[in-house]
Amino acid sequence: MCFEFGDDTVIKSTTAEYGYSEIYEVANILVKQLHHRFNVTSNDYVLIDCTTTDSDSDSDSDATNTDMSHLELPAILACIHLGVPFVPISCSTLHQPPRLSALVAALKRTGSQVYGIIHATSDASPLVTALHAATVHRLLYLDSAGSVIETIQTIDILPDPVYNEALYVMFTSGTSGTPKAVVGSHAATVNRLAWWHDTFPATYSSRTVIARRSPLTFVDGLNDLLAGCLFPNTTVFQGVEDLGGHGVSRVTVLPQQLALLTASPPSRTLKHVIVSGSLLTAEQVSCYNSNGWRHVPLINLYGQTETGGDVLYNVVGSGGGFNEITGCDVRVEDGEIVVAGVCCAVGYLGKAKFEGFYRTGDCGTVVDDRVVVGGRLDGVGKVNGIVTCPREVETVFQHHLEVKCTATVEGGVVAVRVEEEVGEGWRGRLRERGVPWHLIPRTIVGGTGAGRVTASR
């Protein structure tokens, strides 16, 4: 990564703004302190305090409002310069000492040392106490103005930059089981940022203001934050709610947040709305369009923490299914979406590196060279010897026939119950679209009856 845009404003909030020169100056101080004072190497880890509340306070405020700080960026840049992976820590972690201790123990099991860059003004901070209890004793303090506190005189020379394949450690959401610590890839992050810039170049034709709403503990938050450094004429506005009043060009939200976002008319400066984090439903798209937002392109992203956040995208309204993001090799094997390429993470913390295709655990089908994403691989079974996911069948019906149904797989048979009339010639329409035989019911009895795919055609 290369960052060099002089005094251009990089980070902005409703109360202050910070230029690249200011951020770079703090980053250089952190680099010298970490390198010359603590002898940090690329085999170590640096915890980055993501909270904006004063860590000298015992406040346990809502993470939604506090897990975003302008001080994250200089800490990240310092880690990138030294090639040391950073680990963002949120309010939920900071206020749960057992969770913090478990995180540090997991990092140290790899044979690494753990350091911290935190918001504090003295050793009396509760956060300092918690980190000491978790056996993290080498800390750098930053005050609310971004100044490094209690620096020790070191050699005033920046060490040479070090490249490390591992960029960060983040945890999965745990929706498919226990949260896992993922070692994110430097190359995957650069690839994701470059893809957006190349695919949607109009975004950067003039001053771009990115409304950052995701904390650094999510990959979306990192992508938004680094975009302010990688691309000129780009400012990251943190925590902003009034998009129109601040000239916001781009915002990323969860699909379930679209209703709240579209409750007000779109601003004239808004060029893209990105949805990520969960499946986008037809009802949510309908709500988006009916509220007068149809002219603002809605970009639907699909991916996982293990795959750099995003591997597929769809410009809603351009046709069904997802296209691959550059650098991603996405396929469907036995009804499951699998991913390989530069987009994949290094691996899980303390485990072997990812090799070959990463199995997402999500259902998918390929239609017209596009990937149609279903839900999780629950209740899978074999039909005609082919592994079949019920959500595959449900996705086929909704995508091709615009009919909702509920499917189950049992005893080599897919049972389908539809909620409305399908119409004549539905089997032929599915075959014309290239839908595999094992996903096409032989019959449907009545408008709300059950159709079955038997073990033979």
Residue 358 to residue 347: CA distance in whole angstroms: 10
Given this model, what pLDDT does residue 66 score?
44
Q: Band of the pLDDT at 95, cuts 50, 70, 90?
A: low
pLDDT in tens, 147-161: 788 777 777 889 999
> Please, what's the b/e burial string for 356-378 (b: 16 or more CB within 10 A of its CB; e: otherwise)?
ebbebebbbbebeebbbbbeebe
Sheet of strand 443-444, all strands in order from the earlier edge strand to the far edge: 405-410, 413-418, 450-453, 443-444
- Indicate the domain borders of the chain: 9-164, 170-377, 378-457
- DSSP sequence for 25-86: HHHHHHHHIIIIIT---TTSEEEEE---S-TTS-----HHHHS--TTHHHHHHHHHHHT--E
Mention every residue, 6+ apart, whose C-beta is less than 8 A from residue 257. none
CA atoms within 13 Å, Cβ hemisphere of 434: 7
How high is the pLDDT of residue 387?
A: 66
Among residues 393, 395, 435, 434, the alpha carbon closest in space to that of 413 is found at: 393
- Choose the weakest-confidence range: 13-17, 204-208, 293-297, 323-327: 204-208
What pLDDT is stored for residue 428 in this prediction?
A: 87
- CA nearest neighbour of 169 among 187, 178, 180, 182: 182
- pLDDT computed for residue 262 by the predictor: 92
- Give me the sign of the Cα torsion angle 315, 317, 318, 321: positive
| 170-377: CATH topology | Rossmann fold (3.40.50)
| Whole-number pLDDT of residue 53 | 52
Nearest to residue 114, comparing CAs of 50, 60, 44?
44
Query: Residue for token digits 């800490």?
Result: 75
CA angle, 302 then 255 then 226, to 5°: 60
- The reported pLDDT for the residue numbered 455 is 40
Percent of the chain predicted with pLDDT > 90? 44
Strand bridging mode 370-376 / 358-367: antiparallel
Per CATH, 9-164 and 170-377 having the same topology is answered yes
Helix (H) / strand (E) element for 329: namely: strand 328-333
Q: How far apart are CA 10 and CA 154, in angstroms?
A: 28
Give pLDDT tens digits for 267-321: 888 999 999 988 898 889 999 998 889 999 999 999 999 999 999 999 999 988 9
More confident residue, 344 or 178: 344
Average pLDDT over residues 178-193: 92
Residue 82, pLDDT > 70, answer: yes
Confidence of residue 350 (pLDDT cuts 50, 70, 90): very high
**Confidence (pLDDT) at 121:** 83
- The superfamily in CATH containing domain 378-457 is ANL, C-terminal domain (3.30.300.30)
Which amino acid does the sequence have at 331? R
Separation of alpha carbons 326 and 310, rounded Å? 10
Band of residue 98 on the pLDDT scale cut at 50, 70, 90:
confident
Fill in the DSSP letter of residue 313.
E
Using CA atoms, how far residue 271 sits from 45, 234, 243, 300, in Å, is: 37, 14, 11, 14
Question: Which has the minimum average pLDDT: 32-36, 220-224, 393-397, 446-450?
Answer: 446-450
Max avg pLDDT among 322-336, 360-374, 443-457 = 322-336
Most confident of the following: 91-95, 171-175, 446-450 = 171-175
* pLDDT exceeds cutoff 70 at 424: yes
pLDDT reported for residue 19: 85
Pick the CATH number of 9-164 from 3.40.50.980, 3.20.20.70, 3.40.220.10, 2.40.50.140: 3.40.50.980
DSSP codes, 389-444: -HHHHHHHIIIII---EEEEEETTEEEEEESS---TTHHHHHHHTT--GGGS-SEE
Distance between CA atoms of 181 and 158, rounded to whole angstroms?
A: 31
- 245/269 Cα distance (integer angstroms): 10
